[in-house]
């Protein structure tokens, strides 16, 4: 899905929010995400190895399921974390595919990933600026830009837009107060983000420890 060019009208209609108030609103949105108990993150990103697609399920407080697919090598790698134990498998993802335990180092990295994603305290979210309301996929969302430099003019042809400085934007549903999309992109390439994540909130998510052969 192509993202709209941001800031064409947003900067001219931005509410007179101080950065502190916008940061509080972002902290509240992230707290709402944590309180949801479970959420899914569908990611497309550009890595050193090329384009990557990833689906990550978070089931609080300590469960994760992650499926990573490299576009250039489309054999998915699936990883599951339950508490302090983790397993993975590559290629086949059906019920017959074999699982194997992962190393302690990778397990610690997965645990840290969960804690960094869902354990961040509201007062630690950093500076966020309000970009006003923007329409994504026919839905009006509240947009926030993260960073220390203040709002960047993303209008076409804006001379002051630093082309090499990445911009992080999170879109929040004004009705639910939940984040629904996050992007990281260069200001002159907002329609081709380096990172894009769409968030959904399944009510029936389950993550269980897999059956490992011989165990």
Q: Bigger pLDDT: 27 or 13?
A: 27
**Region 36-57: what's the mean pLDDT?**
94
Residue 24 DSSP symbol:
H
pLDDT, tens digit, for every residue of 99-139? 999 999 999 999 998 988 876 565 668 889 999 999 988 99
Picking from 148, 153, 178, the residue whose alpha carbon sits closest to that of residue 163 is 153
pLDDT of residue 14: 40
User: What are the C-alpha distances in Å from 39 to residues 42, 107, 166, 175, 180?
Assistant: 10, 20, 26, 17, 10
Pairing of β 38-47 and β 50-59: antiparallel
Among 72-76, 97-101, 183-187, the minimum mean pLDDT is found in 72-76
**Region 91-98: what's the mean pLDDT?**
66
Handedness of CA 53, 109, 99, 37 (dihedral sign): negative
Residue 152 tokens read as 């960047």
Query: Cβ(45)–Cβ(61) under 8 Å?
Result: no
């Amino acid at each position: 899905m192509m993202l709209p060019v941001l800031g064409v009208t947003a900067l001219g209609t931005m509410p007179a929010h101080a950065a502190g108030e916008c940061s509080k609103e972002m902290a509240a949105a992230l707290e709402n995400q944590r309180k949801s108990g479970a959420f899914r993150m569908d990611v497309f990103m550009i890595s050193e190895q090329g384009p990557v697609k990833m689906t990550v399920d978070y089931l609080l407080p300590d469960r994760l399921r992650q499926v990573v697919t490299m576009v250039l090598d489309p054999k998915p790698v699936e990883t599951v974390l339950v508490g302090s134990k983790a397993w993975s498998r590559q290629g086949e993802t059906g019920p017959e595919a074999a699982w194997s335990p992962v190393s302690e180092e990778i397990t610690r990295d997965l645990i840290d990933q969960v804690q960094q994603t869902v354990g961040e305290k509201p007062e630690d979210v950093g500076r966020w600026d309000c970009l006003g309301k923007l329409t994504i996929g026919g839905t009006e969302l509240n947009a926030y830009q993260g960073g220390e430099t203040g709002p960047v003019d993303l209008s076409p042809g804006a001379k002051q837009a630093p082309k090499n400085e990445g911009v992080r934007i999170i879109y929040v549903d004004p009705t639910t107060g939940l984040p629904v999309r996050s992007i990281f992109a260069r200001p002159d390439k907002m329609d081709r983000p380096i990172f894009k994540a769409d968030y959904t909130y399944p009510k029936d998510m389950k993550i269980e420890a897999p059956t490992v052969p011989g165990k």
